Chains A and B, each alone.
Chain A
Amino acid sequence: MAPAIRALGWAGRFLSIITIAYLATSLYSFTNLMMGGGFALGEPALDFKAQELVISIPFSFNNTGFYDLTDANLTTLIRDQQGNILLRAETLMDSVPKGTRAETIHSISLDFTRILSGDLTRLLINDDKFSFNISIGLRYALALGFKLNLGGLSFPWGAPLSNFSLHPSDVSFNGTHYIQRVELSFENHSQFLPISGRMRVAVYNEMRQEVGNIWVDVIALPGTSFRQSVEMIVENPSLLTGTGQIHVYMESPLIKFGPVVIAYG
């Protein structure tokens, strides 16, 4: 039995030495790699395409260490204050063998059609605060997993149709139609999104019956207000109850959304 005991003892010792040496060299090499500029993030570039904002961040790994670098990834996540995910972008780099350099571009595409549709249309009328999270993950020497997460960064979101309101005045009759004169106003709190194009405003009473609708040409650059008095044809003045909903639709070469539902009365 003695040879078996000795063999097990040596196997255990050998494995311990291998483990310690493997851990020590991979940690040492990885630390040197990170401290010595092995990972670099470039200058972000902004590109405003039709209905989307594309942010491109170049990043590179220069593997001067002892082992291969695998499964490198850069992930960006943007959430609103309620925790809804507005954007998730992930860029993967399968392998960076030792002694080589690899670079790629991390593209973050902020699609306004997606943001300004569905239950997120409230972002058009309410200012918010977006939280930004960026993480870098990789595996070094096939065994050492590493993840750096930078979270809790926030930036304000300015609603492009902030304080949207319709102020109706008395209904008049021009001989053929009943005319409702309304004053339409909003403030564009956005830092970069211009509101320019044709806006359709449909007014409903609390019974969900359409009172009338109008098309208005609007232009409100970032940080400006819009105020205009318009006339809306009302087919049936008895439908005017003073309460209900306003449905706002927007059509422009840059952006298209709707309906944004706003209660009134």
Chain B
Amino acid sequence: MPAWSTNPFVSDKSEEMAQRIFYAPSVFNYFSPGFRAGTQLGPEFQIFTTATSLIRINFVSTLLQGGFGSDVTLDLTPYLGDLPNTGAMVDRVNMNLMGGLMSQSMRDSILAAVAKAPANSEKVLTAVYLTATASQYQVEN
């Protein structure tokens, strides 16, 4: 993907996700090292709130639907090439987004949803959407 975009979508969405690029909300940066997620220290969870978690999910769906305009386009060709083998397609998503660490149960759920999506392009978008919005992916990226 190109590393630049003049589309305001990027700065608007990064601000909504509480991580506006180069503009931390205070001199203490985006989150405090003392912030706790439950009983454990989890600094990043200071900006992972019920509001931003949904905004992050919607960021992914907007991105997948071409929300960046012509600045950033997704090349789905390799994934479409795997079809009709949906298992191979999901494995490719797993390898590219999660380094192959997706659990079997997560893979099964994604495959069930992929089976319900009628068009091939929607099958691929479904697999990418469910992977990129999963906590399993988000905590590592």
Q: Do A and B come from one complex?
A: no
